[in-house]
Amino acid sequence: MDTMETAEISEISTIQKLENLLLVAVPRDMTDSDVLSLRRQVLQKARRYHSHWVLLDFSRVDICDSFFGRFIQSTARMADLMGANVIVSGLQDMVVETMVELGMTLSNIQAVLDLDEALALSRKSQTDSASISQQESDEQEKEASPADSQLERSTSIDMPLETRSEV
C-alpha cells in the first residue's frame, strides 16, 4: 500500500482513477513542495493503476504562471516516460489568453475542453486499438451511421465526477 499519503494537498479527491484515466484535479495556489508532492503521487498512482492516460484538470486554477507551465511540462515528460499520455483539460478562458500571450502554448501536450472529452478520447483510443483489425471490414457499417455512433458514445457516458469548464 501507499505509505506516502497526501500531505500538503488536503483534498482527498485530488487524484482519482476513472476507467483507464487518472484524473488529477490540480489545486490552485500550490507551493513548490505541493508541486513535488503532487507530482510524486500522480506518478505513483499512474503506475499502480496502469493508467494509459493522465488528465491534468485545471478548472480550479485561475492564475497560471510560468511555474505552472513548468509543472505541466515536467509531469508530462515523467508520465510519458512511464508510458502514460498526459492530457490537460479545464483551462479557463482568461488563463488560456494569458498563456498564449506569454508564449506558453504547451504545443506538445494534448488539450481537451473537459472531463467528458477526456473520457471520450480515452475510450475512443481503446476502441480504436481493439478494432484495428476489424477496421477495413467494418468501414461500410461506419459510413452508414457515423453520426449515431458518435452521438451514442457521447451520451452514454455516465459520470460520477464531472468537471465543467468555467470562465
Binding flag, residue 32, other proteins (CB under 8 A): yes
Cell of 50: 496502469
By C-beta, is 3 or 140 nearer to other proteins?
Answer: 140
Q: H/E/C letters for each residue in 88-149?
A: EECCCHHHHHHHHHHCCCCCCCEEECCHHHHHHHHHHHHHHHHHCCCCCCCHHHHHHCHHHH
- Note whether 120 and 89 are within 8 A (CB): no
Site for other proteins in 100-139 (CB under 8 A): 100-107, 111-114, 117
Instruction: State how far the Cα of 13 lies from the Cα of 17, in Å rounded to an integer.
Output: 10
- Note whether 21 and 55 are within 8 A (CB): yes
Binding flag, residue 43, other proteins (CB under 8 A): no
Stretch that binds other proteins, among 5-13, 36-44, 49-57, 94-102 (CB under 8 A): 94-102
Residue 164 CB, shortest distance to other proteins, in Å, is 9
Among 108, 135, 150, 161, binds other proteins (CB under 8 A): 150
Q: Coil, strand or helix: which one is 54?
A: strand
Binding flag, residue 39, other proteins (CB under 8 A): no
Among 8, 48, 50, 63, binds other proteins (CB under 8 A): 63
Binding flag, residue 64, other proteins (CB under 8 A): yes
Residue 2 CB, shortest distance to other proteins, in Å, is 26
Task: For residue 15, count other CB atoms closer than 10 A to its CB.
Answer: 21
Binding flag, residue 167, other proteins (CB under 8 A): yes
In which element (H, E) is residue 77 found?
A: helix 66-81
Angle between the 146-155 and 115-131 helix axes, to the nearest 10 degrees?
130
Binding flag, residue 5, other proteins (CB under 8 A): no
Give residues in contact with other proteins (CB under 8 A). Answer: 29, 31-32, 62-67, 69, 88-89, 91, 93-107, 111-114, 117, 142-143, 146-147, 149-151, 165, 167
